[in-house]
Amino acid sequence: MPSGLYEELESESKIWEFRLNKGFKVEIPDNNKLAGLEALRFIAALAVVVWHYQHFSFSNGSSHLLFERQPFFSSLYYFYKYGYAGVKVFWCISGFIFFWKYGDTISNKAISSKDFAILRFSRLWPLHFATLIMVAVLQYLYWSPARHFFVYQTNDLENFLMQVPMASAWFGQNSSFNGPIWSVSVEILVYIFFYALCRLIGSGYVATIGVLILAEQFRFWPILTYRFQSLKMATVYFFAGGLTALVAASVNSQIQQLRRSINYMVLAAYVVLAATIFVLPATHRLGFEDSGITIVAATLCVYVLHLVDFRGLRANSVFAAIGSLTYSSYLLHFPLQLLIVLLCLRAGWDVPLYAPWFFLLYVALVFVLAFFCYRLFELPMQNGIRRKFGVQARRGEATQQAGRLCVISFERPPPTEPSS
């Protein structure tokens, strides 16, 4: 999932403060965690984990899901029905963060293509390869008694070789082995295109809008639409997120004095929307099948949540921590499902997928494993690869873009001493 999902922003930062009336402040971050986006990353990851809960209904080569019997169905209706949209939100977050962190840096030739590739490789590949091997072994063990694979069926040598370099979705979506990796695979092509675009043309409004217009032309070419639909979607959402970053930078520089009021109004609107989602019966809720609605919703969420800084609530570190678990949770939840089903199969038990306790146990295990995986495997491997190649994330590489983004802090500044 996507590097809004994967991008590890540096925790050390400089803050420029602009004092506003009534003791509030607007902060412009330099390379700091954007707490609101970290929260959104986690919600998107949870949506995908819940969406794929239906995998537990897979048996005898097909799914036998009783959709409305899934645990906590009323509260989690949107996750069960539209959880797949979490991937699109990830792409959108990726675009926002990459335009913010790398746009001007690449345009100014401050980071080489080699360094950019190593930063991406070190962040994405080690866990991908580890889970690929894990799923290959578990699928073999599952196939032996069942004579079919679990959920994803095209687990042959050809697809394995495509999976190793994360190229499984480069020529059309092909779900094999650890199936969710397809969205990461297609995003790698978007990274390459993004770097080339920034290096040759830049990451301004004209180039970004031009890419969005060209990507939408795929609909007029059925062959391209069929073969590269996933690439088209990833490109649109990534650059829609990038366009959101450009708009945010422009707007924030113009209306700093109104930021607090705007922030409160939009947050109030989201509280009302969230309350409506959980209160209304499932049959009366809004649908998100239309891709245009999804793009608007995703970019609006990214724009709004980039504004929010919970520093005064001492929650930034919490959101940074849960945000760092999203890539692990994305790649670990299917191997965990496969392991649970395999154990139940060997023991002769039915998977209790409609039991609330089982659902809670599954979600808890996903994120507990993600925590330890990130701390004990992901981060050490990432740092080790970067040290080996002499590449480190540059503390100042986002200065130019970050200097144009504002976040709202709900922390009142300390009282000043009265002048004598």
The one-digit pLDDT tens for each residue of the chain (420 residues) are 544 444 444 333 333 233 333 333 333 344 345 777 888 889 899 999 999 999 999 877 677 888 899 999 998 998 999 899 899 989 999 999 999 888 889 988 889 999 999 999 999 999 999 999 999 999 999 887 767 899 898 899 999 999 999 998 888 767 889 999 999 999 999 999 999 999 999 888 888 888 888 887 766 666 666 667 888 889 989 998 898 888 877 776 555 556 556 656 656 665 665 555 555 544 444 444 445 556 666 766 776 666 666 555 556 677 778 888 999 999 999 999 999 999 998 888 889 999 999 999 999 999 999 999 999 999 999 999 999 998 865 443 333 333 344 343 333 334 444 333
Cross-strand bridge partners of residue 59: 62
Confidence at residue 252, expressed as pLDDT on a 0 to 100 scale: 67
Number of separate helices (H) and strands (E) present in the chain: 15, 6
Region label for 60, one of left (φ > 0), alpha (ψ between -120 and 50) or beta (otherwise): left
* Strand runs labelled E in 7-52: 14-19, 25-30
Cβ within 8 Å of residue 334, ≥6 positions away? 52, 55, 135, 151, 178, 179, 180
- Residues, the chain: 420
Query: Is there a domain that residue 322 lies in?
Result: yes
Confidence at residue 28, expressed as pLDDT on a 0 to 100 scale: 34
Nearest to 2 by CA among 80, 83, 82, 88: 88
Confidence at residue 361, expressed as pLDDT on a 0 to 100 scale: 96
The rounded distance, in Å, linking the Cα atoms of 318 and 357 is: 26
Cβ within 8 Å of residue 306, ≥6 positions away? 34, 36, 37, 96, 248, 405, 407
pTM: 0.79
Confidence at residue 73, expressed as pLDDT on a 0 to 100 scale: 93
Confidence at residue 347, expressed as pLDDT on a 0 to 100 scale: 87
Nearest to 166 by CA among 154, 190, 151, 183: 183
Confidence at residue 204, expressed as pLDDT on a 0 to 100 scale: 87
Query: Is there a domain that residue 204 lies in?
Result: yes
Confidence at residue 362, expressed as pLDDT on a 0 to 100 scale: 96
Cα-only R_g, the chain: 22
Confidence at residue 123, expressed as pLDDT on a 0 to 100 scale: 93
With beta carbons less than 8 A apart as the criterion, state whether 340 and 351 touch.
Answer: yes
Query: How many whole angstroms from its chain centre is CA 73?
Result: 24
With beta carbons less than 8 A apart as the criterion, state whether 41 and 5 touch.
Answer: yes
Q: How many other C-beta atoms lie within 10 A of the C-beta of residue 144? A: 8
Confidence at residue 357, expressed as pLDDT on a 0 to 100 scale: 97
* Farthest-apart Cα atoms in the chain, separation: 85
Query: Is there a domain that residue 8 lies in?
Result: no
Burial of 379 (0-12, 13-18, 19+ CB in 10 A): middle
The rounded distance, in Å, linking the Cα atoms of 362 and 346 is: 19
Query: Is there a domain that residue 32 lies in?
Result: yes
- Compute the half-sphere exposure of residue 91: CA atoms within 13 Å on the CB side of its CA: 30
What is the DSSP code string of 381-392? HHHHHHHHTT--
What is the DSSP code string of 293-361? HHHHHHHHHHHHHHTEE-GGGT-HHHHHHHHTTHHHHHHHHHHHHHHHHHHHHHHTPPP-TT-HHHHHH
Handedness of CA 359, 176, 130, 384 (dihedral sign): negative
Give the three-class secondary structure for 408.
strand
- Tokens (6 digits) for 248: 């945010």
Cβ within 8 Å of residue 330, ≥6 positions away? 1, 5, 45, 48, 180
Query: Is there a domain that residue 344 lies in?
Result: yes
Nearest to 319 by CA among 47, 35, 4: 35
Considering its fold, how many domains does the chain have in total? 1
Query: Is there a domain that residue 244 lies in?
Result: yes
The rounded distance, in Å, linking the Cα atoms of 101 and 106 is: 9
The rounded distance, in Å, linking the Cα atoms of 98 and 327 is: 16
Confidence at residue 345, expressed as pLDDT on a 0 to 100 scale: 87
Looking up tokens 């609101």 gives 36
Query: Is there a domain that residue 19 lies in?
Result: yes
Query: Is there a domain that residue 182 lies in?
Result: yes
The rounded distance, in Å, linking the Cα atoms of 305 and 315 is: 14
Q: Which domain holds residue 131?
A: 14-409
